């Protein structure tokens, strides 16, 4: 018996009960559609996060004080780590191969005031190069001056929102603000940026790193950010950075993370989430399989005479099995086709509604959903088909 | 060709055994036309099913062309049904969703005959039963006699040696019945071995031999001409 004949025979049987066939394949279609739509959402979210991270800057290496890996707990747990100093930063700039940019970062919270207006904000001490690495744009004036590592000029750059709140009616440029007890001249205002890594960049006051450390009486930097030319150089840079600081401190007491590692972790988590969504959606395919089994059992019962006849005509058991199995698989495949069309259509229709999130149905999900549907057709079609082959020909012919 | 020796077939209904055939022996030669008669429940259909390898005897030996069929497995019986035997039933058993040609092609589909050959053989078989003009008709668009002739075309399209018919005219009026029997008679004349179960003496009279069953055994053996004329149509 040829494949084309099997399909032809199965198709005529399915077309005989159009409504029933369509309703059954609808179950499969909904399952496949759910897989496509949910994975599109998950993958869209993953890409969104990845893009967000990429906008933070690429090929970044971040050094923070304290060793998280070995203690497994908070940085510095069980003994204060050595300070991460400006001298350390300079040593890294000299010693790490492939460094293109480097910026030390100090951080504190302080009240910033201009006349009567005052705001409690994060104060971020750094150098000129941070703006380029973090892709921070200046709106008015300029960012922190270059070549000012140790001196700490009394200047500040304000985040967009902070500038607007302190100076609602005039330009902040050239005005003096008080940060704690320190008078700083505003030399720049940043472009609105939104939240980066949980910090609202529009509320930050940037000051030279030395000023910041003096202001908060800090001996240690919050972190040092380095940028290398290419992702391939990150590993070597990381090893070298750790080696340099270990030598300077006499012990390995810093943590060195790459942006890529963070990104990979997050991307992995979101990828797993997408997979979980696909799995949950796939459960509905199993439910659809039960529907297929049900309809096929009814079909076999209804067509007992036909089975008896086929046996009288000399059809082999395996042929009868294949014919009924083909019906189940055809239902599943037609459902999968409809589900894929519906899923992709749904995603296209929903795209305008979600805006920033770019819905992207991953091809693997569509392929997997269609394959699972086919497998479901086979698995849930076997029992009814086997039942057909087991019918006693005489009893089947006479409908007993 | 068909050799039945002491065939018994016992069904078990609940705990009660029902003896449909009790040690029946019979011999059918190639090309013969045998009618099987007998009262309802005498075991005619059961006998036909056993001859057609749809059922197995509980006891006794069935030889077909020298082969001991009663010892064969399911696969071998399937092959015999496919290659040697054609079946015609009282209720036609046409597949409703297929047209006349589709029904006649069915045994060839399962035997793996290529599509082109199937088409021409089905057309020829339908022509042979006088249904050449009805090949695209579905069963519900055909009369009873036409349906039975399609069923005969289907039963013979694989060129079996034996045609088994269980009350082929049972659902037909006498005119349609005579058309059907004319087809069977001609096929028998062309060499087909014919075993027909019937209640109708007019049908049985055409046979070379008539085997009358009684309580699962052969009651009487007659020639067709020995049967009393019924006079009535059916
Ligand atoms: N599957 C079965 N289970 C139980 N008993 C059966 C079965 N098939 C047949 N019988 C019994 O065997 C006996 C013979 O049945 P069979 O169908 O061969 O009779 P028949 O001669 O064809 O009768 P009819 O002329 O009414 O068709 C009957 O008593 C019937 O009830
Ligand atoms: Mg009967």
Measured CA to CA, the distance from residue A288 to residue B58 in angstroms comes to: 44
pLDDT of residue A78: 47
Same domain, residue pair A101 and A214: yes
User: Distance from first CA to last CA of chain B, Å, rounded?
Assistant: 31
Whether A67 shows a pLDDT value over 90: the answer reads no
- Closest in B89, B98, B111 to A314, CB measured: B111
Same domain, residue pair A300 and A159: no
**Residue A173, domain member (yes or no):** yes
Query: Which residue has 């942006």 as its token pair?
Result: A259
From the CA of B41, the nearest ligand is 1
Measured CA to CA, the distance from residue A128 to residue A302 in angstroms comes to: 81
Whether A258 shows a pLDDT value over 90: the answer reads no
User: What is the domain extent for residue A187?
Assistant: 82-252
**Residue B99, domain member (yes or no):** yes
Same domain, residue pair A95 and A129: yes
Number of domains in chain A: 2
Q: The CATH number of the domain where B133 resides is what?
A: 3.40.50.300
A60 Cβ contact partners less than 8 Å away, ≥ 6 residues apart: A133, A225, A226, A227, A258, A259
Measured CA to CA, the distance from residue A102 to residue A95 in angstroms comes to: 12
**Residue B89, domain member (yes or no):** yes
**Residue A204, domain member (yes or no):** yes
- Which residue of A lies nearest to B158 if distances are taken between CA atoms? A313
**Residue A58, domain member (yes or no):** no
Same domain, residue pair A105 and A206: yes
Tally of CA atoms within 13 A in the half-sphere of A173 that contains its CB: 10
Q: Which of A306, A313, A389, A396 best probes binding to B when mutated, by most B CB atoms within 10 angstroms?
A: A313
Measured CA to CA, the distance from residue A245 to residue A253 in angstroms comes to: 8
pLDDT of residue B230: 57
Query: Which residue has 């509604």 as its token pair?
Result: A353
Same domain, residue pair A189 and A336: no
**Residue A68, domain member (yes or no):** no
Model pLDDT for residues B47-74, shown as the tens digit of each residue = 999 999 999 999 999 999 999 998 899 9
Higher model confidence: residue B31 or residue A68?
Answer: B31
Phi (first) and psi of residue A213, to 5 degrees: -65, -35
Measured CA to CA, the distance from residue A180 to residue A158 in angstroms comes to: 15
Helix, strand and coil in chain B, % to nearest 5: 40, 30, 35
Same domain, residue pair A109 and A201: yes
| φ/ψ bin of B23: left (φ > 0), alpha (ψ from -120 to 50), beta (otherwise) | left
SS3 for chain A, per residue?
CCHHHHHHHHHHHHHHCHHHHHHHHHHHHHHHHHHHHHHHHHHHHHHHHHHHHHCCCCCEEEEEECCHHHHCCCCCCCCCCCCCCHHHHHHHHHHCCCEEEEEEEEEEEEEEEECCEEEEEEEEEECCHHHHHHCCCEEEECCCCCCCCCCCCCEEEECHHHHHHHCCCCCCCCCEEEECCEEEEEEEEECCCCEECCEEHHHCEEEEHHHHHHHCCCCCCCEEEEEECCHHHHHHHHHHHHHHHHHHHCCCCEEEEEHHHHHHHHHHHHHHHHHHHHHHHHHHHHHHHHHHHHHHHHHHHHCHHHHHHHHHCCCCHHHHHHHHHHHHHHHHHHHHHHHHHHHHHHHHHHHHHHCCCCCCCCHHHHHHHHHHHHHHHHHHHHHHHHHHHHCCHHHHHCCC
Q: Tell me which H or E stretch contains B214.
A: strand B209-214
Same domain, residue pair A271 and A211: no
Same domain, residue pair A352 and A208: no
pLDDT of residue A71: 44
Model pLDDT for residues B212-226, shown as the tens digit of each residue = 999 999 999 988 788
**Residue B15, domain member (yes or no):** no
SS3 (DSSP) at B170: coil
CB contact under 8 A, B97 and A13: yes
Share of chain A above pLDDT 70, in %: 96
Higher model confidence: residue B98 or residue A355?
Answer: B98
- The CA-based angle A116-A121-A126, given to 5 degrees, is 120
Q: Which of residues 109-128 of B touch A (CB under 8 A)?
A: 109-112, 115
- Closest in B78, B85, B97 to A316, CB measured: B78
| Domain's final residue, options A212, A227, A252 | A252
- Residue A344, exposed/middle/buried by CB under 10 A (0-12, 13-18, 19+)? middle
pLDDT of residue A145: 87
CB contact under 8 A, A12 and B97: yes
What interhelical angle do A3-16 and A18-54 show, nearest 10?
110
Number of domains in chain B: 1
**Residue A292, domain member (yes or no):** yes
Residues of chain A with Cβ-Cβ distance to B74 below 8 Å are: 317
CB contact under 8 A, B83 and A393: no
SS3 (DSSP) at B167: coil
| Domain's final residue, options A222, A252, A282 | A252
Same domain, residue pair A233 and A300: no
Measured CA to CA, the distance from residue B29 to residue B192 in angstroms comes to: 11
Same domain, residue pair A323 and A276: yes
Compute the distance from residue B89 Cα to the ligand 2 centre, in Å: 10
- Furthest-apart CA pair in chain B: how many Å? 52
**What value does the mean pLDDT take over residues A87-111?**
92
**Residue A73, domain member (yes or no):** no
**Residue A259, domain member (yes or no):** no
**What's B118's DSSP letter?**
H
**What value does the mean pLDDT take over residues A373-388?**
94
Which atom in ligand 1 lies closest to the alpha carbon of residue B167?
27
**Residue A282, domain member (yes or no):** yes
**What value does the mean pLDDT take over residues B134-141?**
96
**Residue B53, domain member (yes or no):** yes
Q: Which residues line ligand 1 (CB under 6 A)?
A: B 11, 13, 18, 20, 38, 40-46
Name which of A55-64, A239-248, A360-369, B46-55 the model is least confident about: A55-64
Mean pLDDT, chain A, integer: 89
Q: Which of B110, B125, B140, B153 best probes binding to A when mutated, by most A CB atoms within 10 angstroms?
A: B110
User: What is the domain extent for residue B188?
Assistant: 30-58+79-226
| Domain's final residue, options A192, A219, A252 | A252
Residues of chain B with Cβ-Cβ distance to A309 below 8 Å are: 93, 95
Whether A219 shows a pLDDT value over 50: the answer reads yes
**Residue B233, domain member (yes or no):** no
Same domain, residue pair A130 and A241: yes
Measured CA to CA, the distance from residue A292 to residue B21 in angstroms comes to: 42
Q: What pTM did the predictor assign? A: 0.75
Measured CA to CA, the distance from residue A393 to residue B48 in angstroms comes to: 13
């Amino acid at each position: 018996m040829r494949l084309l004949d099997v399909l032809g025979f199965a198709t005529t049987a399915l077309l005989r009960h159009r409504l029933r066939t369509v309703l059954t394949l609808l179950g499969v279609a909904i399952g496949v559609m759910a897989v496509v739509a949910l994975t599109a959402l998950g993958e869209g979210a993953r890409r969104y996060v990845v893009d967000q991270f990429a906008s933070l800057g690429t090929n970044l290496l971040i050094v923070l004080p304290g060793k998280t890996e070995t203690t497994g707990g908070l940085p510095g747990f069980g003994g204060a780590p050595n300070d991460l100093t400006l001298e350390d930063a300079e040593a890294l700039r000299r010693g790490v191969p492939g460094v293109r940019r480097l910026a030390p970062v100090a951080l504190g919270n302080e009240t910033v005031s201009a006349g009567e207006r005052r705001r409690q904000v994060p104060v971020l001490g750094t150098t000129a190069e941070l703006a380029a690495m973090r892709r921070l744009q200046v709106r008015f004036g300029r960012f922190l001056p270059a070549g000012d590592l140790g001196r700490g000029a009394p200047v500040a750059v304000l985040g967009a929102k902070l500038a607007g709140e302190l100076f609602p009616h005039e330009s902040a440029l050239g005005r003096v603000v008080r940060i704690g007890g320190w008078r700083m001249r505003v030399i720049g205002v940043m472009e609105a940026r939104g939240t980066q890594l949980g910090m609202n960049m529009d509320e930050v006051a940037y000051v030279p790193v030395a000023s910041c450390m003096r202001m908060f009486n800090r001996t240690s930097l919050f972190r040092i950010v380095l940028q290398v030319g290419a992702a391939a150089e990150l590993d070597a840079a990381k090893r070298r950075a750790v080696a340099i600081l270990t030598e300077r401190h006499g012990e390995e007491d810093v943590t060195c993370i790459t942006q890529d590692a963070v990104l990979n972790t997050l991307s992995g988590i979101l990828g797993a989430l997408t997979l979980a969504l696909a799995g949950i959606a796939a459960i509905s395919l199993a439910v659809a399989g039960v529907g297929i089994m049900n309809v096929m059992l009814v079909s076999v019962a209804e067509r007992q005479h036909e089975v008896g006849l086929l046996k009288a005509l000399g059809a082999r058991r395996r042929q009868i099995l294949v014919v009924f199995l083909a019906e189940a698989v055809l239902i599943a495949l037609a459902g999968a086709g409809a589900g894929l069309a519906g899923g992709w259509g749904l995603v296209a229709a929903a795209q305008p509604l979600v805006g920033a999130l770019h819905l992207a149905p991953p091809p693997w999900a569509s392929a997997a959903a269609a394959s699972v549907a086919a497998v479901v057709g086979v698995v849930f079609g076997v029992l009814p088909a086997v039942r057909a082959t087991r019918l006693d020909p005489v009893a089947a012919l006479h409908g007993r | 060709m068909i050799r039945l020796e002491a065939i018994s077939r016992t069904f078990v209904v609940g705990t009660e055994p029902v003896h449909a055939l009790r040690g029946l022996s019979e011999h059918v030669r190639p090309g013969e036309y045998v009618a099987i008669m007998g009262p309802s429940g005498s075991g005619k259909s059961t006998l036909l099913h056993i001859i057609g390898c749809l059922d197995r005897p509980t006891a006794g030996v069935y030889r077909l062309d020298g082969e001991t069929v009663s010892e064969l497995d399911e696969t071998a019986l399937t092959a015999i049904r496919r290659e040697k035997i054609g079946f015609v039933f009282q209720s036609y058993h046409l597949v409703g969703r297929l047209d006349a040609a589709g029904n006649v092609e069915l045994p060839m589909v399962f035997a793996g005959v290529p599509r082109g050959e199937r088409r021409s053989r089905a057309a020829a078989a339908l022509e042979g039963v006088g249904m050449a003009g009805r090949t695209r008709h579905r069963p519900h668009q055909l009369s009873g006699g036409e349906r039975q002739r399609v069923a005969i075309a289907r039963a013979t399209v694989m060129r079996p040696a034996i045609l088994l018919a269980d009350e082929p005219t049972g659902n037909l009026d006498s005119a349609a019945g005579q058309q059907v029997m004319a087809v069977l008679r001609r096929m028998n004349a062309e060499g087909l071995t014919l075993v027909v179960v019937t209640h109708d003496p007019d049908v049985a009279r055409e046979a070379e031999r008539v085997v009358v069953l009684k309580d699962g055994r052969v009651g009487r053996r007659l020639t067709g001409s020995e049967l009393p004329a019924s006079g009535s149509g059916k």
